[in-house]
Amino acid sequence: MPPADKVDLKQMTEQLPDLLNKIEKAMQKNATAEEQAAAFGLGCSLLTGFVNYLDQPDSPLSVLEKETSGFTVGVPKDAFKKFLKQETDLLKGIKVRSKHVDRAIEILADAEKDGGLENLRINAKALIDALTQVRDILCVIEVENRKGHKISLELAEVGYDMVLTVGAVAGDMLVIPFAFGAGNPGGVLLGIVSIGVSLKALWKFIAKGKELYQRDRGANTRADIKPKTPPPRVKKK
């Protein structure tokens, strides 16, 4: 599908459930290249518009970075469950299905194991860079699909995790201004933590996605150039 010029936070969160459902279908063993193209093509379009929207001097991301300048926060381990509960409520509030919410919470919970709960802040440049690379991966997957090539289940799963994490970022960016307006500094801080943790998760998925894409693309290229076995010659009597 043609990319949208800009996709704002509300549009991104509203279209997230449909995108996740399409990618989930594309992850099935019997999914066709056309079904995968529809899923990752939608992702490519939405991420293109989302990056265009956020990469502006007056975007909510730029404003948020300025308003939280100097904030470097972390989550004590005893407050981590509260943080995950807030994220669960946030994703349910934007109508993400329970199974998708559960996976998003698993992704964020992994941050505790990786020691990713300290020195978190809003870094607009780093976030735009990560979102751009997520977009690029989704777009090149669509290109492969349009050639008639299916991607592996592993790569589809990474694409799903990237989109889910981007959705969590969009949801947090949508609610942080309300926390500011309501004089709820705790809500603001937890939102900053979620975006910071999500960014760390995105870098892991990006690295894995690039690796798997190169592997899949190489396999598809070899299949394309593999000489076809000619039919057996029939001797004339």
Task: Enumerate residues 6+ apart whose C-beta is below 8 A from 101.
Answer: 88, 91, 92
- How does pLDDT run across 181-207, given as a tens digit for each residue? 777 777 777 788 888 888 989 999 999
pLDDT of residue 183: 74
The residue with greater pLDDT, 187 or 90, is 90
Could you tell me the residue range of the domain that residue 171 belongs to? 9-217
SS3 label, residue 120? strand
Residue 235 lies in a domain: no
Residue 174 lies in a domain: yes
Q: What is the dihedral angle through the alpha carbons of 98, 100, 104, 110, rounded to the nearest 10 degrees? A: 100
Residue 4 lies in a domain: no
What is the pTM (predicted TM-score) of this model? Answer: 0.87
Q: How confident is the model at residue 127 (pLDDT cuts 50, 70, 90)?
A: very high
Residue 143 lies in a domain: yes
Predicted confidence (pLDDT) at residue 1 exceeds the cutoff of 50: no
Residues in the chain: 237
pLDDT of residue 116: 61
> What are φ and ψ of residue 73, in 5° steps?
-125, 170
Structural domains of the chain, count: 1
Tokens 């300290």 locate to 118
